[in-house]
């Protein structure tokens, strides 16, 4: 057991089984911190398991004591491990900075697949360009959906208005009196429509006070 470790991080607060496990993973992680792309996933997996074992409140203290590492830095390792644990062979040739960028929550699975298939070069600039292009497409699709929604709303209102017109004309033309007035030229569709709308408003008002 490393005496200098216990002087900086209080392993005594842990139960014996947890203490042995965390010390073992600590040693492994120290060895892996060469930060080769092949080891990033293993570091992340170690950090995940240690975080689960230490519980709330101890993990950040352990990171600082052992590696002078912030929780934000550890999160980058963890994201790589969570996202690429089953793709070690494919991603082992990528630079570390590229792995971090691909593991970022802002990187979609589509962009990752493009990098893996070499449609997008495995460089930071190329990946960021692909992400921006994808975001632009999503923004355009959202704008199109919004425009279609407005057009559907306008069409629905127009159909409703036409339905009212047809309802009025059907009722108006069924009246023999109205038909005679129409044939004599003393009443137009427009004047009849205005009268019909006025009568509808009166009926609605009377219905509210009934």
List the chain domain ranges: 3-105
Signed CA dihedral, 4, 6, 7, 9: sign only: positive
DSSP E strands in 67-181: the ranges are: none
Say if residue 2's pLDDT is above 90. Answer: no
Q: Please state the length of the chain.
A: 210
Give the pLDDT mean for 171-179.
Answer: 54
Say if residue 47's pLDDT is above 90. Answer: yes
Distances (CA, A) of 107 to 41, 79, 90, 136, 138: 17, 12, 17, 14, 14
Is residue 148 helix, strand or coil?
helix
How far apart CA 56 and CA 6 sit, in angstroms, is 19
Among the listed ranges 17-26, 82-91, 114-123, which one has the minimum average pLDDT value? 82-91
b vs e for 169-184, b when ≥16 Cβ sit within 10 Å of the residue's Cβ? eeebeeeeeeeebbee
Could you report the per-residue pLDDT of 59-79, keeping only the tens digit for each?
A: 999 999 999 898 899 999 999
- What is the reported pLDDT for 37? 67
Is residue 123 helix, strand or coil?
coil
- What is the reported pLDDT for 5? 42
Say what the pTM is: 0.55
Could you report the per-residue pLDDT of 100-126, keeping only the tens digit for each?
A: 899 999 999 899 889 888 899 888 899
Highest mean pLDDT among 45-54, 156-165, 184-193: 45-54
- What is the reported pLDDT for 196? 60
Say if residue 95's pLDDT is above 70. Answer: yes
């Amino acid at each position: 057991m490393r005496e200098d470790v216990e002087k900086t991080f209080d392993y005594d607060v842990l139960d014996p089984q947890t203490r042995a496990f965390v010390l073992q993973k600590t040693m492994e992680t120290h060895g892996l911190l060469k930060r080769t792309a092949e080891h990033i996933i293993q570091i992340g997996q170690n950090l995940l398991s240690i975080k689960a074992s230490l519980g709330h409140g101890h993990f950040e203290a352990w990171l600082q004591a052992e590696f002078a590492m912030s929780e934000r830095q550890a999160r980058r390792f963890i994201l790589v491990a969570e996202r690429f644990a089953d793709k070690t062979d494919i991603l082992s040739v990528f630079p570390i900075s590229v792995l971090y960028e691909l593991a970022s929550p802002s990187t979609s699975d589509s962009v990752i697949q493009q990098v893996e298939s070499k449609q997008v070069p495995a460089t930071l600039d190329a990946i960021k360009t692909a992400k921006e292009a994808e975001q632009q497409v999503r923004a355009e699709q959202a704008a199109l959906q919004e425009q279609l929604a407005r057009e559907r709303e306008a069409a629905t209102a127009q159909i409703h208005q036409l339905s009212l017109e047809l309802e009025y004309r059907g009722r108006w033309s069924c009246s023999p009196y109205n038909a005679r007035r129409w044939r004599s030229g003393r009443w137009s569709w427009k004047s009849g429509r205005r009268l019909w709308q006025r009568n509808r408003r009166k009926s609605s008002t009377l219905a509210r006070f009934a």
